[in-house]
Structure 1
């Protein structure tokens, strides 16, 4: 008989606790410092995992900048970003200040109240321009939160924000090889529109940039 597993992650005093709440009131808890070792045999085909984590969004504050700078400088998290590491704190602060003057909205992503990334909605013009119905997005998350549904929630939040600005065309780009991003975008209705050949350079090698978009009703 299929059963569900709910995983709850907590970090207190450097100790990670992961509680498994299984059907029929069976509970297994295992806590250890920095590493988690599980020896539980269950048929993978029957497992439905749900992360009980509250994800919220708010405008970036000055107090968030140090954490956001750490995330963008993480080697894995930075690999597919247009801004190459190392990124100085001054650059991060200058970017924060510049957003007060243009049409981009920078939001912090919080998981259970902790900043785990940043997202951007970039409006392509004010109401007097013929591209005012277009917006692009950017997402940057701490890698320890990849694959936990945070990116999916971020896109849904950005979609709602875009609707408030009467955006009709929603677009983005990702770099070839970033399969995690491709799957996320396709899941949320984005369609491939074209390729910018060799538009991205990493470690002396050129990569294509894939253009995707979707239209909001």
Structure 2
């Protein structure tokens, strides 16, 4: 089951959630670097783990071909990509039943329900593909995201204490959350 593009209009802002395509690679490369600089909630500091447009093309191609992978993005009516999410599954038989979810939204577009729409589309896709579990990790101080994930049925499975060291020199815990899709 693939994701059918869906159009949203929230607080005067219109955008579409759709599957990423190879033609999006250049914009996604810039966008990922931008998002890394706008929040400390992600694993990377600005400039770390860069993915070139070529890297994104390869990633998108793989995600389109592999049945337990999904790469979504949110795009304005003008064609500007403003967010993305991925579900990545394993090719190992014992782990093929689950995917890990991750999301990034540009700061300018926080508050337009883009994250929840990407998450909802991902859950629907995973359920339609008979996957049984979605997991994600979130820094303990990201209370807004934790509340959102709980609202979508995710539960805390564990805490990795002092898992990340941020720019302030302090250590922060990571919360591992999951949602069982088929029971």
User: Above 0.5 in TM-score?
Assistant: yes
Match for residue 40 of structure 2 among 74, 79, 85: 79
Asked whether the equivalents of residues 154 and 178 of structure 2 are also in contact (C-alpha less than 8 Å), the reply is yes
The 4+ residue runs of structure 1 with deviation greater than 6 A are: none
Match for residue 91 of structure 1 among 23, 29, 51: 51
Unaligned 5+ segments in structure 1 are 1-5, 10-52
What is the correspondence of 1:1-217 to structure 2 with a 5 Å cutoff? 7-9=11-13, 53-66=14-27, 68-74=29-35, 77-87=38-48, 91-99=51-59, 100-101=61-62, 103=66, 104-112=69-77, 113-125=79-91, 129-203=93-167, 204-217=169-182
Report the Cα offset of residue 164 of structure 1. 3.4
Q: CA separation of 1:206/1:7 partners in 2, compared to 1, >3 Å: closer, same or farther?
A: closer
Computing the radius of gyration over CA atoms, which structure comes out larger, 1 or 2? 1
Q: Which whole-Å CA distance do the structure 1 matches of 2:25 and 2:57 have between them?
A: 13
Asked whether the equivalents of residues 90 and 99 of structure 2 are also in contact (C-alpha less than 8 Å), the reply is yes
Structure number with the higher strand fraction is 1
Structure number with the higher helix fraction is 2
Report the Cα offset of residue 76 of structure 1. 5.6
Q: Which whole-Å CA distance do the structure 2 matches of 1:197 and 1:121 have between them?
A: 24
Could you say what the CA RMSD is over the residues aligned between the two structures, in angstroms? Answer: 2.5
SS in 1 for 2:177: strand
Say which structure, 1 or 2, has more relative contact order (CA 8 Å, 6+ apart).
2
Q: Which whole-Å CA distance do the structure 1 matches of 2:11 and 2:129 have between them?
A: 36
Alignment partner, residue 27 of structure 1: none
